[in-house]
Structure 1
Amino acid sequence: MKYQIIPVTPFEQNCSLLWCEQTKRGAVVDPGGDVSRILRAVEANGVEVEKILVTHGHIDHAGGVADMAARLSLPIEGPQREDKFWIDGMVAQSKMFGFANVRSFTPDRWLEQGDTVSFGNLVLDVLHCPGHTPGHVVFFARPDRLAIVGDVLFQGSIGRTDFPKGDFETLISSIRNRLWPLGNDVAFIPGHGPMSTFGAERRSNPFCGD
């Protein structure tokens, strides 16, 4: 699997363009905004986007979903249904954070622990990892040893848990029981900031390390 990280919105959220090398068919994960910038990356890489994947319903991750889906006639998969209240409140989020032209959406498919998503010849595992939001999901490309973790985990930090329905203990449990068992060698793309590996975070992350 090939990928490109595209920082979007004033929050510098890591939107990810993922694609299958054999077919050049791909998916966009968390198009939070700046859709034209994302589409330029799609075109530059010669990718045919099949779908939009969403880790959770916060506006910096999902604010551009409705726009991109409409422009390219794409299905939307994710997050888990417990984040519906965040997605339904997208317009209110946009007013709070000053995002323009943001619309709510209804995913074509809500995701659950143990589901898979696919594009091209690739299949990604879905892990439900609540705590930052109740319906947060992580996408794991097992053969590539790569996880797209949204705002669950960062290099040296973890996602905030002071938002509605966030919970610190639930987040730590998600990290330790859902992410760590995937292996220390797994690299991850966080929702913000630089990439890291699960092994590095287990050694040195002050919030969730061993």
Structure 2
Amino acid sequence: MLKIEQLELGPVQTNCYIVSNEKKECLIFDPGEEENRVRELLKKRDLKPLAILLTHAHFDHIGAVDALRDFYEIPVYLHHLERDWLGRPNLNGSGKYAALPDYRIKDADVLINGEKELVLGSFRMDLLHTPGHSPGSLTFSFPEERFAIVGDTLFRGSIGRTDLIDGSETKLLQSIRTSLLTLAADTVLFPGHGPDTTPAEEEKSNPFL
């Protein structure tokens, strides 16, 4: 059985998720900032990370990527449509805000192209391309465990913003309806910000849907 732990990191409290198994292996999703807090949690739990997985490449999801990648010597996975975003502040959004430094992260080690099953160690997950918030937004679904990490595609009672580069409300709503709401109704959806939800709850009460 997998265990999932959440850390709220960085200036906009982005959710970073640590998914671990009984072998003490883990995956790191969206380490937005504060690499020391991630390392402290992994040390406390005696976990060995296998990879960093990014739902997308906006600045608030990538700030601690290089520090953690270099410390643990693990690969970073990202959708190929955002291959240039990590190192370009005008694309990852950090260049939009004068109060923020420019985020320039090294290239991803593995570029994801197409929807498929991804296997890392004993972890098995379905990759769902869910564009709209950004062109390469990914959902990492664990159907046997009944949860999915959805990034900024869907929130409890809301949806991701679409006013950033290459955002599209039409594509976002299509992604939600065809990829997320078709998951098992009780699947726990873990978003990039805020509390978790389920497809059943969002179909019933989300005013955007």
TM-score by length of 1: 0.92
**Structure 2 counterpart of 1:164:** 165
The answer to whether the Cα contact below 8 Å between 1:26 and 1:119 also exists between their aligned partners in 2 is: no
The answer to whether the Cα contact below 8 Å between 2:88 and 2:104 also exists between their aligned partners in 1 is: no
Corresponding letter in the other structure for 1:67: A
Corresponding letter in the other structure for 2:114: Q
C-alpha separation in 2, matches of 1:13 and 1:42: 18
Map of 1:96-115 to 2, 5 A cutoff?
96-97=96-97, 98-99=99-100, 102-115=103-116
C-alpha separation in 1, matches of 2:38 and 2:96: 24
Q: Highest relative contact order (Cα 8 Å, sep 6+), 1 or 2? A: 1
The answer to whether the Cα contact below 8 Å between 2:87 and 2:104 also exists between their aligned partners in 1 is: no
Map of 1:175-190 to 2, 5 A cutoff?
175-190=176-191
C-alpha separation in 2, matches of 1:29 and 1:20: 15
**Structure 2 counterpart of 1:2:** 3
Farther off after superposition, 36-45 or 92-101: 92-101
C-alpha separation in 1, matches of 2:38 and 2:30: 11
C-alpha separation in 2, matches of 1:199 and 1:11: 27
Q: Which runs of 5+ in 1 are unaligned?
A: none
Map of 1:85-164 to 2, 5 A cutoff?
85-90=84-89, 93-94=93-94, 96-97=96-97, 98-99=99-100, 102-164=103-165
**Structure 2 counterpart of 1:73:** 73
The answer to whether the Cα contact below 8 Å between 1:28 and 1:52 also exists between their aligned partners in 2 is: yes
Q: CA deviation at 1:117?
A: 2.8
C-alpha separation in 2, matches of 1:132 and 1:152: 6
Q: Which runs of 5+ in 2 are unaligned?
A: none
SS of corresponding position for 2:83: helix
Q: CA deviation at 1:67?
A: 1.8
Q: Percent identity?
A: 33
C-alpha separation in 1, matches of 2:181 and 2:202: 9
**Structure 1 counterpart of 2:193:** 192
C-alpha separation in 1, matches of 2:139 and 2:110: 15
SS of corresponding position for 1:163: coil
SS of corresponding position for 2:208: coil
What do residues 78-127 of structure 1 show as CA deviations (whole Å, max 9, x unaligned)? 2x111234223148844544445843221111113322333342201100
CA-based RMSD of the aligned residues comes to 1.7
SS of corresponding position for 2:166: coil
SS of corresponding position for 1:11: coil
Q: Does 2:174 align with 1:206?
A: no
SS of corresponding position for 1:202: helix
The answer to whether the Cα contact below 8 Å between 1:30 and 1:62 also exists between their aligned partners in 2 is: yes
More helix by share: 1
SS of corresponding position for 1:86: coil
C-alpha separation in 2, matches of 1:174 and 1:93: 22
**Structure 1 counterpart of 2:14:** 13
Map of 1:22-37 to 2, 5 A cutoff?
23-37=23-37
Farther off after superposition, 93-102 or 106-115: 93-102
